[in-house]
Amino acid sequence: MPEPESASGSASGSPSPSGADALAREKAHLAASRSALRTMREEVEALDIADVTANWVNKQAMEARTEQRIRELADLAHTPLFFGRLDYSGGDHEGHQFYIGRRHVHDGAGEPMVLDWRAPVSQPFYQASRTAPLDVDLRRRFGFTGGELTAYEDERLTGPAGPDPAPRTGRLLQEEIERPRVGPMRDIVATIQPEQDEIVRSGLGGTVCVQGGPGTGKTAVGLHRVAYLLYAHRERLARTGTLVIGPNRSFLHYIEQVLPALGELEVAQATVADLVARVAVRAVDSPAAALVKGDARMAEVLRRALRSHVTPPGEPVVVERGSRRWRIPAYELAEIVAELQERDIRYGAAGEALPQRIAHAVLVRMEEAGEAPDDRVQDAVARHHAVKAAVKAVWPRVDPAKLVLRLLSEPDFLAAHAEGLLDEEEQRAIVWAKPARGVKSAKWSAADAVLIDEAADLVQRTPSLGHVVLDEAQDLSPMQYRAVGRRCSTGSATVLGDLAQGTTPWATAGWREALAHLGKPDAVVEELTAGFRVPREVISYASRLLPHMAPGLTEVESVREAPGSLDVHEVPGGAEGAAEGAAEGADGELDAAVVGACRTALLREGSIGVIAADSRIPALAAALTAAGLAFLDPGRETTAESRLTLVPASLAKGLEYDYVVLDEPAEVVDGEPDERTGLRRLYVVLTRAVSGLAVVHRRPLPHQLTGWSPADPA
């Protein structure tokens, strides 16, 4: 371990260096650490694996590992090698200084120059406080500008209280959050807050569910938790795998760089639709049909329908071998079948076990007759055509997609298995008006694909991963929770969501029930209440909607004041004129006002999101183009040259922009099938801005936002 002098370069015992000197020493440590990292990389690059690998396969594997290691050791120009320092004044590390960074760096003698943020000795960087200093005397946070170390911020955790910044409002934290965004989501490793850190470091064994309002850092926490788990349980998770599940491609694209920036390159990403993509999805269900298809009762309907394929044996099995015939009577076959049905094994596995069970019964008879058959005889009997024929009749193979197809095509078949589970109206809601002819030509919906996935799991167990992060979970149906749950049945999960942002007809009403569907009823539910993204003025405005669409949920408490961050601009013309414009999907004056707001936002640094009801997107796209303002769609990465993104409200969830221009809130609400969902959608889009929100409207704002009630006199 380095002594204070060697780690910081500070002259021990001399008067405390001036700020400038201290900064110079820290810069020197950064330069020395960079050079040590370069040496580490050069050592890996120079490894001659030809000497240590005996064969081609090993060589390939070693080469891949070496390449990955070289990538992990890259010194990224704009990613500081360390962001903090801890000076220990007690415990095992008394008198030592540690620099905390994204990865471990050591010098030629193997002494650490930078410690991985995930190491136990780094934890006080996130957790220590004046009330619980955890043996740490000083915590230093570094500020960087374009990869250059330019500032630091100290907190004394022991001795008389000084003018230290409270961690929540620290200048560096504020600057970090407000640093203009271009490109994908960034990591928060330098500024993880204590309550976030507790979730990040919670053990691999347990499932954690995090409820948190917009911008409380749920996504960030989930991704950092994966990085932490990979550090703490690398071998196990390398074997079993990790997966991050997000709501759509744009969102996954937005978050995809966070884990690589933390040195983790092997985490898979998918949407729920990707996980269950066994058939091509080409149809959209009515809300009523999707609601029934997503209900957990469908799991039981499927189970019954599948099991109905087992037919009680009516005939004996007669196996001829040489001059002898062995006969297993029907009642004995029925006993074997009943025993398999009672056991908790998958339909397919039981079907595969049946021939061996029948063969075993034959062997018992052979032994009783004085023969001494061995395993080979049993295998031969199991493959005998009479046994195969019996198995086919009693326990036929079932194709999961065909099973669902039949349920949705044949009202009688559905009724037989939905009895006591779905009422007649519910059954009618899901049966296809026009029965499909085959699996390939059927017009499957997203919910149908989930049903097929459930059926497939009833036939054959879905392999489980080691850990799954499920983001924006509040929008999943019970059947979708089950689909995710079977992918972490022997592993654990991090479930992230906000009940107030649920915008599907089946949105999660409470986490306990959702976790039961996921198969993790004992998961711990944590709450994050501090808001990092949205400034106080904006979150208070958006939170006016809460009592109307998610009563009981408390307002997020923003850690940031940003006076002037909210601008509500009314375009004259009012209710009458706007109605016609809206009907045509175009409204020249409103469009012009939105373009104007974009121009104003473009004068500042950072990303700009223009968010509008999906129906307004074509008109706004045309207006922006006519005004010469280039824009991206949310699946594309912003760059310094193209900072403007046109976002349909339905895709805004989970995303964020430095500045948001929100077009016509009333239209966003009207774009949803009911008012509650509309207000929730509005809440989502009102909470996407980091530095400023401009609301541009011509129609009256929804009264829940203005506080005006329809009952009030005008």
Q: Confirm if 467 and 488 have CB atoms less than 8 A apart.
A: yes
**Cα 704–707–712 angle (5° rounding)?**
105
Q: Tokens standing for 691?
A: 């530095």
Q: 275 vs 685, which CB is nearer to ligand ATP?
A: 685
Q: 164 vs 175, which CB is nearer to ligand ATP?
A: 175
For residue 312, how many C-alpha atoms fall within 13 Å in the half-sphere facing its CB?
A: 6
Q: Confirm if 637 and 183 have CB atoms less than 8 A apart.
A: yes
Q: Is 265 exposed, middle or buried (0-12, 13-18, 19+ CB in 10 A)?
A: exposed
- Euclidean distance between CA atoms 295 and 291, whole angstroms: 6
The continuous run of DSSP H or E covering 456 comes out as helix 446-459
- Euclidean distance between CA atoms 602 and 482, whole angstroms: 44
CB of 664 to ligand ATP, least distance (A): 21
Contacts of 160 (CB under 8 A, 6+ apart): none
CB of 508 to ligand ATP, least distance (A): 14
- Euclidean distance between CA atoms 682 and 702, whole angstroms: 10
Q: Which residues are annotated as a binding site for ATP?
A: 212-219
Which one, of 612, 588, 572, 614, lies nearest residue 699 by Cα?
572
Residue whose CB is nearest to ligand ATP in the complex, by number? 217
Q: Confirm if 671 and 706 have CB atoms less than 8 A apart.
A: no
Q: 233 vs 533, which CB is nearer to ligand ATP?
A: 533
Q: 26 vs 176, which CB is nearer to ligand ATP?
A: 176
Q: Which residues are annotated as a binding site?
A: 212-219
Q: 340 vs 534, which CB is nearer to ligand ATP?
A: 534
Which residue's entry shows tokens 């990224």? 76
Q: 305 vs 507, which CB is nearer to ligand ATP?
A: 507
- Euclidean distance between CA atoms 378 and 363, whole angstroms: 7
Q: 196 vs 565, which CB is nearer to ligand ATP?
A: 196
Q: Tokens standing for 361?
A: 């019964």
CB of 180 to ligand ATP, least distance (A): 12
Contacts of 602 (CB under 8 A, 6+ apart): 608, 629, 643, 644
CB of 650 to ligand ATP, least distance (A): 15
User: Exposure string (b/e) for 512-543, b if CB count within 10 Å is 16 or more?
Assistant: eebbbbbbbeebeebebebbbbbbbbbbebbb
Beta bridge partner(s), residue 568:
695
Render 267-282 in DSSP notation, one character per residue: -EEE-HHHHT-SS-EE
Q: 83 vs 444, which CB is nearer to ligand ATP?
A: 83
CB of 656 to ligand ATP, least distance (A): 6
- Which pairing describes strands 689-697 and 657-663: parallel, antiparallel, or unpaired? parallel
3-class state of residue 691 by DSSP: strand
3-class state of residue 80 by DSSP: coil
CB of 57 to ligand ATP, least distance (A): 41
Residues in touch with ligand ATP (CB under 6 A): 173, 176-177, 188, 191-193, 196, 212, 214-220, 498, 501, 532-533, 654, 656, 687
Q: What is the 3-state secondary structure (H, E, C) of 2-16?
A: CCHHHHHCCCCCCCC
CB of 635 to ligand ATP, least distance (A): 17
Which residue's entry shows tokens 């064969």? 55
Q: Tokens standing for 239?
A: 């074997």
Q: 98 vs 251, which CB is nearer to ligand ATP?
A: 251
Q: Confirm if 312 and 340 have CB atoms less than 8 A apart.
A: no
CB of 223 to ligand ATP, least distance (A): 8
Q: Confirm if 565 and 689 have CB atoms less than 8 A apart.
A: yes
Q: 212 vs 665, which CB is nearer to ligand ATP?
A: 212
- Euclidean distance between CA atoms 567 and 585, whole angstroms: 24
CB of 529 to ligand ATP, least distance (A): 11
Chain centroid offset of residue 130 CA: 34
CB of 149 to ligand ATP, least distance (A): 18
Handedness of CA 474, 480, 481, 486 (dihedral sign): negative
What proportions of the chain, in percent to the nearest 5, are helix, strand and coil?
Answer: 45, 15, 40
Q: 8 vs 193, which CB is nearer to ligand ATP?
A: 193
Q: 73 vs 267, which CB is nearer to ligand ATP?
A: 267
Q: 88 vs 683, which CB is nearer to ligand ATP?
A: 683
CB of 653 to ligand ATP, least distance (A): 6
CB of 625 to ligand ATP, least distance (A): 29
CB of 32 to ligand ATP, least distance (A): 27
